[in-house]
Structure 1
Amino acid sequence: MLFSKSIPLGFLLFCLFNQSALGASSLNHFCFSHENYTANSPYDAYLTRLLILLQTKVPPTGFGLASTGQGEKKANGLALCRGDVSSKDCTTCVVDASKDIREFCPNSQGAIIWDLSGPDCKKCLDEAISELPNCCDAKRGGRVVGGSCHVGFELYPIVGT
């Protein structure tokens, strides 16, 4: 998980895959700030602009950082889509995450959505790796895709081809 004390007001929208296509709600969220903002405040306006900026900035490449506002009430954000997610699905994911983050962490100045804790991530990857022999034994490539993580191997580059 990316988090730095230098970005205390950060919003992380981590889209592992297009939840709306599956009709599922977010996998996880965490409201980590004890500071709240009030509706119609400057921070609220900065946050609105930030989420709109991420919705347009992230889908072409699958990753984006953005900041809006100034000073202590600056809103910082990051969004990431899985490498094999289409630009259209990435857009849907970031739009949905932008709505959900406000619903799940109302007025919180710090939140993460669709992110796994370190132990949960390890557990997810361990389970996916344990499935590789069932699907891909003696194969030249294979992939186990889950809702929160995926693992794969190929003879060629997987991302950027």
Structure 2
Amino acid sequence: MSSNFGLVPIMAVVAIQLFLIPSVLSLNLTNAYLHHKCNNTQGKYSKGSAFEKNINLAIRSSDSNNFLNGFGYIEKGEDPNKVFLMYQCRGDSYGSKCRSCVDAGVSELRRRCPRNKGAIIWYDQCLVEITTINSFNKIDYENDFYLSNPNNVSDKELFNKEMSALLVELTDKATDKNNMKNNKFVLYAAGDKRIGTKTVYAMVQCTKDLVTTSCAACFEWIFKMFSECCDGKRGGRVLGTSCNFRYELYPFLRN
């Protein structure tokens, strides 16, 4: 667990879990805010400054192709006012759903991190980052957090073993060099598995600026947090800016 965030307070986890109603329809209609970080080390910008103008240019530069692909990485301006805007939408939330999530993320970043040059926000269906640092095809090992269901399964040892195997299986699928769409690596996979009397549903995803090898390295990193996050839990997820995984005992993705 990165020291930048620390543990998510248990009441916050419980509050977020209230959104996780075991209904595919209701889950598809929600896009819960999960977490954000205002990066104070990159400084602040002034109203009307060149940096603010570059942020606005980056936001307006997102086009329909970006949202259909679920990923955007946009650079605007020159040093020292250069801006990088990155967003990645969940693998089942491309197109109009991606656009609405990114719009919400940009709006909330302005509210929660007013005039910060660096900031990140996570929702159920996307993440959005504004930064002064070019991180294209680089794994972010600094910004991560996790959420978990407060309730445990009955057979923790069996569940942990089978859940870990499912995550490895999905990783292999997501990082398969043949798993491509529109000449781009998909870097996303979802599936389900019967464990005891329960069916578990899971997904893994990397941002599309990564290549398959760096995506696999990112998964290896966040899977090390499984015991801290998800040991015997009925649902859990670890989210970074470069990759994430989630599992639940109910469907939470669109078909």
TM-score range, shorter chain: 0.5 to 0.7
Aligned to 1:136: 194
Structure 2 residue 35 is the aligned partner of structure 1 residue 28: yes
Distance 1:49 1:63 in 2: 17
- Report how far residue 39 of structure 1 moved: 0.8
Give the TM-score normalised by structure 1: 0.62
% identity of equivalent residues: 23
Distance 2:52 2:247 in 1: 38
Q: 1:50 to 1:147 in 2, by over 3 A?
A: farther
- Describe the superposition over 1:19-53 as per-residue Cα deviations: whole angstroms up to 9, x where unpaired: 994264x2111011341101111111101111222
Distance 1:91 1:44 in 2: 21
Distance 1:39 1:147 in 2: 40
Computing the radius of gyration over CA atoms, which structure comes out larger, 1 or 2?
2
Structure 2 residue 163 is the aligned partner of structure 1 residue 67: no
Aligned to 1:150: 246
Distance 2:55 2:28 in 1: 23
Aligned residue identity for 1:78: M
- Identify the structure with the greater helix proportion: 1
- Describe the superposition over 1:85-136 as per-residue Cα deviations: whole angstroms up to 9, x where unpaired: 1311111101111111111100100001116953x33x649x8x7696xx73
Aligned to 2:3: none
Aligned to 1:76: 84
Aligned to 2:52: 44
Q: Which has the higher contact order (CA 8 A, sep 6+)?
A: 1
Aligned to 2:119: 111
Distance 1:82 1:27 in 2: 14
- Identify the structure with the greater strand proportion: 2
Distance 1:38 1:147 in 2: 39
Distance 1:54 1:21 in 2: 23
Give the TM-score normalised by structure 2: 0.41
Structure 1: tracts of 5 or more residues without a match: 1-18, 153-161
Q: How many residues align?
A: 127
The 8 Å contact of residues 69 and 94 in structure 2, kept in 1 or not, is answered as: no
Distance 1:57 1:40 in 2: 29
The 8 Å contact of residues 64 and 95 in structure 2, kept in 1 or not, is answered as: no
Across the aligned residues of Structure 1 and Structure 2, the Cα RMSD in angstroms comes to 3.7
Aligned to 1:15: none
Aligned residue identity for 1:111: A
- Report how far residue 79 of structure 1 moved: 0.4
Structure 2: tracts of 5 or more residues without a match: 1-26, 128-141, 153-158, 164-192, 204-234, 238-244, 249-255
Structure 2 residue 154 is the aligned partner of structure 1 residue 58: no
Distance 2:46 2:57 in 1: 16
